[in-house]
Structure 1
């Protein structure tokens, strides 16, 4: 669990540094403007600038465990309970994605409800339980954590089609390149 948290912290640090170097300020989001969060450091016109903050709730996905009577791997719990932050754009190999993060306490409740819905769909389709961690530009593709193997996969919800990206979340996060303004930051 700690290795996953460390890998997320390392990527977030690289992401924030790339934003600072590229723009001269903290990461910015238009989509999150006006949405309260402990991450907000400034509001500029139609965007909010943010920095990651320590997760202030109990570090558990207990609502998901209770709702579905499922045991979740520690790495997925660490991924969603290490910090509050905005979603972060990145590139993995040649695929651009948006790494999903928890913006606030309210967002954490909504996230768990969405993960429960996703897992219920997977159960109905008799498919391996996965938990999404990123979106892609293609609506029918998401990046997910496989709860059985710990692998990070690209999948199409409702389909059995999947591609393994990394053998675990640490490898995946360490190989992400921050994308700022459509440009991958190498470093």
Structure 2
């Protein structure tokens, strides 16, 4: 696990939280769903009511993500890049918005242990499509905004960061590593996710 990457992830999340509290004066809101609990939630409320949330650091001994990646590797027959493992094993969170020289994007995270299986299914589908198209294996961790039509991924072999469009070859290399990519981002305030 890269200590530099961990430091960069922590710094970005801390900046995002500070920006939110400085500009909005409170954590963002989401709709409480008792079927979808998370350590991110702040306080208590009734189902379908608004509740505040903030990114929450995962426990170092959280095995849900590690087990999920181990099973993913067994199914695929190869190792998943350590930067992606580190990314999804560091924080519980809703997507965090950011801006960059390429435009706005949302950084994807896991909401809870329960969310690990959904991510595994999405990654398997993505990787099988890449394999079928005889393209290098990439693993997504962000999507473009406001359309979400493109995504940002890690090349599983090199660790490089690429802009991609579903079903096509990577469009453009954005950075040599996830740590360097995070240096190019500026957090934005987090929108409320009320329904």
Shared topology, TM-score over 0.5?
Answer: yes
Indicate the structure with greater strand content: 1
Shift of the alpha carbon at 1:92?
1.8
In the alignment, is residue 51 of structure 1 matched against residue 60 of structure 2?
no
Partner of 2:103: 95
Query: Matches of 2:169 and 2:100 in 1, distance apart?
Result: 22
Partner of 2:114: 106
Shift of the alpha carbon at 1:57?
2.3
In the alignment, is residue 173 of structure 1 matched against residue 182 of structure 2?
yes
Query: Matches of 1:165 and 1:29 in 2, distance apart?
Result: 32
Q: Cα distance 1:103–1:109, how it changes in 2: closer, same or farther (>3 A)?
A: same
* 2:29–2:52 contact (8 Å) kept in structure 1: yes
Q: Cα distance 1:110–1:181, how it changes in 2: closer, same or farther (>3 A)?
A: closer
* 2:96–2:190 contact (8 Å) kept in structure 1: no
Shift of the alpha carbon at 1:94?
3.9
Q: Cα distance 1:139–1:23, how it changes in 2: closer, same or farther (>3 A)?
A: closer
Query: Matches of 1:9 and 1:173 in 2, distance apart?
Result: 10
Q: How does 1:57-136 map to 2 (within 5 A)?
A: 57-58=62-63, 60=66, 61-136=69-144
Q: Cα distance 1:181–1:100, how it changes in 2: closer, same or farther (>3 A)?
A: closer
Secondary structure of the 1:154 match is strand
- Of stretches 59-68 and 6-15 in structure 1, the one that deviates more from structure 2 is 59-68
Which runs of 4 or more aligned residues in structure 1 lie more than 6 Å from their structure 2 counterparts after TM superposition? none
Shift of the alpha carbon at 1:161?
4.3
Aligned residues: 180
- Of stretches 7-16 and 49-58 in structure 1, the one that deviates more from structure 2 is 49-58
Secondary structure of the 2:152 match is strand
Query: Matches of 2:190 and 2:62 in 1, distance apart?
Result: 32
Partner of 1:185: none
In the superposition, the TM-score normalised over structure 2's length comes to 0.84
* 1:84–1:104 contact (8 Å) kept in structure 2: yes
In the superposition, the TM-score normalised over structure 1's length comes to 0.87
Q: Cα distance 1:111–1:144, how it changes in 2: closer, same or farther (>3 A)?
A: same
Gaps of 5+ in 2: none
Gaps of 5+ in 1: 183-187
Greater RCO, 1 or 2 (C-alpha within 8 Å, sep 6+): 2
* 2:98–2:105 contact (8 Å) kept in structure 1: yes
* 1:41–1:51 contact (8 Å) kept in structure 2: no
